Structure 1
Amino acid sequence: MKSKRIGKRTIKLNNKPTIISAACVVGPKEGQGPLKDYFDLVLTDDLYGEKSWELAESKMVQTSMRKAVEKSGKKLEDINYMFAGDLINQLFPASFAARELNIPFFGIYGACSTMAEGMSLSAMIVDGGFADLSLSGTSSHYCTAERQFRFPLELGNQKPMTAQWTVTGAGSVLIASSGDGPKVKYITTGKVIDKGIDDGNNMGAAMAPAAIDTIDAYFEDTKDDPNSFDLIITGDLGKLGKQITQDLLMKRGIDISKVYTDCGVKMFDLEEQDVHCGGSGCGCSATVFAGYIYNKLVKKEFNKVMLVSTGALLSPTSTLQKQTIPCIAHAVVIVNE
């Protein structure tokens, strides 16, 4: 057990858990962005044929997970565990998807860090010999998140330029004990960091300190070289949070500028699409990874990637009680070997 730990917060997975497939579904606006060719399914209707946005989000989770299993040549009954979560109270979309998929289910909540959290847990459970196949994924929906955390869409509230657009999308990966594909090699688990930001429309500034803390911890633990990566990508900090992260890491002596970007920046055309600072939501890093990044890894165009999904752990209740925003970031390093 101890042999797998490196430093204080990082583990090295010696048994090479492999991401054997990935799949994602996105909404119409995401399908108009620069990554449109990497998604498995682009919806033409935000409701996805359902009676509510929450049910539509749950259906997206089901679709992405079914597609990931199908692409691997496996069957749903072959899967040992499912890790999933989302932004909605009581994990409504994930839990209702698990009901339909009939896979042993761990519901997890890390806000928008859920993709990397689920991948971490899936990889650890496979590496530890507790499962041969573990499915993990997450989702978000612009309309469900707005209704829960902000204002009813019907009000048409204006947002400040620091705000981001919640991605409508779901992404899933299937991690196996053997097979072809990129391997999960390192995991650095985040700590909850709160620097006193209380503006729910400035999530990039709130989450950036958590991303900085986790990335710093990885390099402190491993003594790795940032430039050995093809890509270091944070979850959904957007344009503002990305710049804060890059600048403050530079002050700590960690220069990631040549290999760094953010999923919230990659998802949309910030000049042409009205998304202010970029994308956010659980589905942001999930779909960017399961679509764009995984495709590049399989084609060996990327051989070493760090995904740092970032999450703001606020709730409607904490906001009404005037609390600041605690945040977290989890890092997963994926390599071709």
Structure 2
Amino acid sequence: MNTKNKKIGKQTIKLENPPKIIATTSIVGAKEGEGPLKNYFDIILKDQGNGEKSFEQEETQMMYEAIKETIKKANLKESDIDYLFAGDLLNQLGSSSFAAREVNVPFFGLFGACSTMAESLSLAAIMMDGGFANHVIASTSSHFCAAERQFRFPLEYGSQRAETAQWTVTGSGAMLLAHEGDFPYITHITTGIVKDYDMTDPNNMGAAMAPAAVDTIYNHFKDTGRSPKDYDIIATGDLGKVGKKLTEELLLEYGYDIKGIYQDCGDLIFDSEKQNTNSGGSGCGCSAVVASGYLYKELKKRNFKRVLLISTGALMSPTTSLQGESIPGIAHAVAIEYK
């Protein structure tokens, strides 16, 4: 196989056999279910615990339900799935690993922080395009309470949130890829490069991730020869209001004006003023539920014909933050089309 035909430019792959996204499921928490996108989500939980013994167990259950429901929607069985690519924010990929324990499917566990949805979707699409599988699931999750406990403060501490802080989305999204059918399909993948501009404030991750988003979007345009006008919507993962504004400004310096078609999943999922989410949403589940809910359903309706999803991640850990390390950022882009 001639790989030169698939790799275009520095960071982008053009898929020769674009896999179809034949089914998706989005599950969100109660707060997300009260936001502007509530009609696009498949399942809205009643509370943060959902009857489980811990927040981490609830996150595991969300991902398991998202995977199971997606297989059911496609009229397939667990045994039909060749691989599962999944990740989350917790130590040792706790939610993904324990969700994978419940399904009898070969599992790749991934960590890309909040970029993991696009990362899992990218690798699942590459696996499909290479002819190594017939059905692959990409899934990601996050949970507000579990993430706060791991990365910031226990909820009982009652710390004040900065204006630049974001609200980790409680949710899980899953996408099932196949070769056949009339469905939206993945055409290009632009893999990000880690960018670090010495941001150290964990309460301003939008600013930490924006340079990575800008670099990936710029290189996607450069590699493919496309421009903003080739897309109906360009959606970053979870930069929130602060990171979104920075991304718009920095891309203008490269000569790309994306304001008319640019949205951020973290800005879309909450009404930040009414719901008191400051700069907006974040977390692995943010771009996962917006992509598998809002973006996919609008593609199916043909309101969008070409979407560029760029999930963004802050590659920090509690240990590195306490040691005074900066926050590296990463962003991966996936082009999804339905003509």
* TM-score (structure 1 length as normaliser): 0.99
State the distance in 2 between where 1:215 and 1:102 align: 36
What secondary structure sits across from 2:114 in the alignment? Answer: helix
> Which residue of structure 2 lines up, in the alignment, with residue 267 of structure 1?
269
1:286 is aligned, of 285, 288, 297, to 288
Q: 1:225 aligned to 2:234?
A: no
What secondary structure sits across from 1:93 in the alignment? Answer: helix
1:116 is aligned, of 115, 118, 125, to 118
> Which residue of structure 1 lines up, in the alignment, with residue 77 of structure 2?
75
Q: Moved runs in structure 1, 4+ residues, more than 4 A?
A: none
State the distance in 1 between where 2:215 and 2:227 align: 17
> Which residue of structure 2 lines up, in the alignment, with residue 132 of structure 1?
134
> Which residue of structure 2 lines up, in the alignment, with residue 49 of structure 1?
51
State the distance in 2 between where 1:159 and 1:271 align: 14
> Which residue of structure 1 lines up, in the alignment, with residue 153 of structure 2?
151
Q: Deviations over 1:112-159 (max 9, x none)?
A: 000000000000000000001000110000000000000010011001
Q: Deviation of residue 225 (structure 1)?
A: 2.2
Q: 1:37 aligned to 2:32?
A: no
> Which residue of structure 2 lines up, in the alignment, with residue 241 of structure 1?
243
State the distance in 2 between where 1:226 and 1:68 align: 31
> Which residue of structure 1 lines up, in the alignment, with residue 337 of structure 2?
335
Q: Deviation of residue 46 (structure 1)?
A: 1.1
Q: Is the 8 A contact 1:167 1:280 kept in 2?
A: yes
Q: Is the 8 A contact 2:140 2:285 kept in 1?
A: yes
1:209 is aligned, of 202, 208, 211, to 211
> Which residue of structure 1 lines up, in the alignment, with residue 258 of structure 2?
256
Q: Deviation of residue 179 (structure 1)?
A: 2.0
> Which residue of structure 2 lines up, in the alignment, with residue 182 of structure 1?
184
Gapped runs of 5+ residues in structure 2? none
Q: 1:168 aligned to 2:203?
A: no
State the distance in 1 between where 2:189 and 2:180 align: 19
1:58 is aligned, of 49, 60, 65, to 60
What secondary structure sits across from 2:138 in the alignment? Answer: strand
Identity among equivalent pairs (%): 56
2:149 alignment partner AA = R
Q: Is the 8 A contact 1:227 1:258 kept in 2?
A: no
State the distance in 2 between where 1:122 and 1:176 align: 10
Q: Is the 8 A contact 1:24 1:290 kept in 2?
A: yes
Q: Is the 8 A contact 2:227 2:256 kept in 1?
A: no
Q: Deviation of residue 257 (structure 1)?
A: 1.1
Q: 1:105 aligned to 2:107?
A: yes
Q: Is the 8 A contact 1:12 1:185 kept in 2?
A: yes
What secondary structure sits across from 1:198 in the alignment? Answer: coil
2:100 alignment partner AA = A
1:100 alignment partner AA = E
Q: Is the 8 A contact 1:134 1:176 kept in 2?
A: yes
Q: Deviations over 1:54-111 (max 9, x none)?
A: 0000000001111111111111110000000100000000000000012100000000
Q: Is the 8 A contact 1:131 1:177 kept in 2?
A: no
1:56 alignment partner AA = E
State the distance in 2 between where 1:324 and 1:225 align: 32
State the distance in 2 between where 1:57 and 1:251 align: 40
What secondary structure sits across from 1:111 in the alignment? Answer: coil
1:197 is aligned, of 178, 183, 199, to 199
2:65 alignment partner AA = T
State the distance in 2 between where 1:79 and 1:271 align: 42
Gapped runs of 5+ residues in structure 1? none
1:210 alignment partner AA = A
What secondary structure sits across from 1:56 in the alignment? Answer: helix
Q: Is the 8 A contact 1:142 1:168 kept in 2?
A: yes
1:151 alignment partner AA = F
Q: Deviation of residue 178 (structure 1)?
A: 2.0
How does 1:14-25 map onto structure 2 within 5 Å?
14-25=16-27
Q: Deviations over 1:211-267 (max 9, x none)?
A: 000000001111102112110000000001000001110111011111101000000
